[in-house]
Amino acid sequence: MNTDELFHQHFGADDEAFSLRSPGRVNLIGEHIDYNDGFVLPIAVPLEVHLKVRPRADRRVELYAAEFDERLSFSLDNLRHQNTWIDYVQGVARELAGASVPLHGFEGVVTSGVPVASGLSSSAAIEVAAALAFTHLAQQPMAAVDIAKLCQKAENNFVGVNCGIMDQMAVAACRADHALLLDCRDFSTRQVPFRLKNHALIVTDSAAPRTLAGSAYNERRAQCEAGLAYLQTKLPHIVSLRDVTPAELTEHGTGLDPVVRKRVQHVVDEIARTIYACEELEKENLAVFGQCMNASHESLAQLYEVSSPELDWLTDWARQQPGVLGSRLTGAGFGGCTVTLIENSGVDAFLAGLPPAYKAALNRDARCWVCTAVDGAQVL
């Protein structure tokens, strides 16, 4: 059943209802550098959360989530953790209230085409959808960047995940046929044309559990902070690892703890690589862009150590296929998805060949999507 039919079934007439869509995202390049003031280059993908809601007279929010066949609710006057998907909505409500946005109750249906726990930002998609619903009802539209910051705070403060700004910003601010070059220091953005003619982008879900994702993610962040603190003793002007040049790291990095040194090397290299890759993308030099994707993966695997046997296998396999320009893990790592840039002529064989080969090698069921860049979240 689609969202309209489900709404009808669970909530009846839809006279005052409105709908909105909120996509997942993949990052093309620029990984684990959003929390180091770096640059990221995500696109919004056509795997989307859909929300259809109508206002309520009271201050309750009640939602039926089709994916879990579960109807949950909360009072806007009593936000308490339920340790489930509705916490994303509650977290957004709390941040909006803190920003003095008048909150109104609503009820409706949420359906999701963004696979959960696959690293495609299903949580950011729900958060941004909720923020749009609340601000639409309050008749107080907010700029995409403010929505993204608010949703990041909801995730940090209420959900308790210490994520950077990339996911919420991608979901809120991406444009169709464009990648979003985001400067995570000042939140300035550039829409970079990403309309592939002779090539395609394939997103592959490794279907491997991301059990380490939370704890190891926080550990990586702490290692970056430790590296920054040390380097600041040598380079007092630096505010973040963004300010460290490769030459400065070579000169001053010897005193770093060896593991921290590797993490910082990734960050410094990946920031430079992302700027370079983006310039090449703008020149439509996809071959070089693909090489940058490969180099990014190697760095994430060897220096940042956030890959996994599955992600390494998928990217290795991809690079051996006809027409592939580059392949890398995307998102936090430890499972989740890869992105592969490939000539159109190779797509069918890739899609047919990957699942059985992966199954035979690692006994898991991969899923692939050919993804174009779609618009960020919007009220329809």
Query: What's the closest the beta carbon of residue 35 comes to ligand GLA, in angstroms?
Result: 6
C-alpha distances out from residue 302 to 107, 263, 307, 312, 345, Å:
47, 9, 8, 11, 31
CA dist 122 and 109 (Å) reads 16
- Catalytic-role residue among 87, 167, 205, 243: 167
- Contact call for residues 312 and 71 (beta carbons, < 8 A): no
Least distance in angstroms from the C-beta of 327 to ligand GLA:
17
Question: Could you tell me the smallest distance in angstroms from the CB atom of residue 164 to ligand GLA?
Answer: 3
Residue by residue, DSSP assigns 185-229 as TT--EEEEE---SSEEEEEEE-----TTHHHHHHHHHHHHHHHHH
Query: Which residue's CB is nearer to ligand GLA, number 6 or number 208?
Result: 208
Let me know if 167 is a catalytic residue: yes
d(CA 231, CA 236): 8
Nearest CA among 301, 343, 335, 336 for reference residue 318: 343
Q: Which of residues 214 and 355 has its CB atom nearest to ligand GLA in the complex?
A: 214
Closer CB to ligand GLA, 107 or 167, in the complex: 167
190: nearest Cα among 275, 291, 89, 130: 275
Q: Which of these, 337, 341, 339, lies nearest to 364 by C-alpha position?
A: 337
In the complex, minimum distance from the CB of residue 299 to ligand GLA, in angstroms, rounded to a whole number: 12
Q: Which is nearer to ligand GLA, 62 or 270 (CB)?
A: 270
**Residue 274 CB, nearest distance to ligand GLA (Å)?**
11
Note the residues at the interface with ligand GLA (CB under 6 A). Answer: 31-32, 34-35, 163-164, 166-167, 331-332
Q: For residues 151 and 373, which CB has a smaller minimum distance to ligand GLA in the complex?
A: 151
Q: Which residues are catalytic?
A: 167
